[in-house]
Structure 1
């Protein structure tokens, strides 16, 4: 029996992250889940037999690196790596703590570099592998009240592009996926309020389905910048 390939989802929340785990498990992968909240990971692992929990704070770079090393040792080389972690500081620019600001770069940008360092060489050797990065419109423009988030997401996008240009010719597909939408998660619904149009929420399962598709694009038609939004999203 051939072992199933390994996918890593770094950043597993109750929305997109959990949906990614489900979709890749359904698609024939053993999925390693990385997130701070061990309870959530254990719950998902109890529901999905092919999912394994690896609790880790991605802002602790050396612990994150050690976690990736452990995954490779326990599950084998990683075929698909998804950076879905995000950290934001939501405050007026005059009130942002510089240390908190720097922490957004550790999770959103530096952790992506570490992920690529740990999986890239094996992926080049294996071939037919992918690194996906989930982002949002903060990667493309700065707006009021996004001072504590957009800079690190923009840096993340440029890092992903540099990796794509370097690893692509070596057979590793790197893609940056901009989710320009209110994602259908309970806390987003609370923030948007009862009058927000139901069909303007992006469904986590649909986002995960598109990510699975992008991870398996034929080499003759690879995407890098991918934008996902509901049909009625104003852009």
Structure 2
């Protein structure tokens, strides 16, 4: 039987691209997101995929989803909660909501899935992040704190389960992802200004399959035009 990959935050961009890459790589793919109709449409396109409508910020719903799909060999936490605004302007409830999606969902995912990986002696947990995990700009007060916490939590998990055979990695995406809304926002930007979801997916797949002698924890991707 094909191994199982679980991907959270499967929307029309990066999440769908990750699901397609793992399907192409010989996996059955369980796709988690809140939009049931969109998931069903993707499941009709992607071979050996399963649509699992789920709000990852709901621990009970997340547990029920994982009990339904079984034990994955690879988990990709791609779901993201984000918001722009300075600390004096943001609704504190927004920051709390983003923390639930970005940090608490990762904690629950790890607790629910890594025990089976440890028992099997192999597996991978990959988290997609961005540069907000490394710096706090003024207008990112409702978002950056949660991504920084997410990175640190992922590192704590990695140091725990790595010696037990489970690879945990955090992928910093320092780029504007090529989506319909980003194209509308950056109308005059050339094509190579954007990072392609399929290229992000390729790096996620690579991280999940690194040899044990050369595991990465923190990895970065960015277009050559990106200032850093």
Corresponding position: 1:175 with 2:169: yes
**C-alpha RMSD of the superposition:** 0.9
Q: What's the offset of the Cα at 1:231?
A: 1.3
Match of 1:104 in 2: 98
Match of 1:68 in 2: 66
Q: What's the offset of the Cα at 1:13?
A: 1.3
SS in 2 for 1:212: helix
Corresponding position: 1:227 with 2:220: yes
Q: Among residues 191, 196, 209, which one is paired with 1:203 in the alignment?
A: 196
Question: 1-side partners of 2:144 and 2:86: how far apart?
Answer: 13
Corresponding position: 1:157 with 2:151: yes
Match of 1:215 in 2: 208
SS in 2 for 1:78: coil
Q: Among residues 132, 137, 141, which one is paired with 2:135 in the alignment?
A: 141
Q: Deviations over 1:102-143 (max 9, x none)?
A: 011100000000000011100001122100000000000000
SS in 1 for 2:88: helix
Q: Among residues 73, 80, 88, which one is paired with 1:94 in the alignment?
A: 88
Question: 2-side partners of 1:160 and 1:115: how far apart?
Answer: 11
Q: What's the offset of the Cα at 1:191?
A: 1.6
TM-score (norm 1): 0.95
Question: 2-side partners of 1:93 and 1:204: how far apart?
Answer: 30
> 1:32 touches 1:54 (CA, 8 Å); kept in 2?
yes
Q: Among residues 40, 53, 74, which one is paired with 1:80 in the alignment?
A: 74
> 1:69 touches 1:118 (CA, 8 Å); kept in 2?
no
Q: Deviations over 1:61-105 (max 9, x none)?
A: 221122122211xxxx21000000100122333232222210111
SS in 2 for 1:40: helix
Question: 2-side partners of 1:92 and 1:105: how far apart?
Answer: 16
Show structure 1 runs of 4+ deviating over 3 A.
none
Question: 1-side partners of 2:178 and 2:61: how far apart?
Answer: 31
Match of 1:115 in 2: 109
SS in 1 for 2:55: coil
SS in 1 for 2:73: strand
Q: What's the offset of the Cα at 1:59?
A: 1.7
SS in 2 for 1:62: helix
- Unpaired runs of 5+ residues, structure 2, are none
Question: 2-side partners of 1:213 and 1:182: how far apart?
Answer: 21
Match of 1:188 in 2: 182
TM-score (norm 2): 0.97
Question: 2-side partners of 1:95 and 1:58: how far apart?
Answer: 26
Give the aligned length. Answer: 228
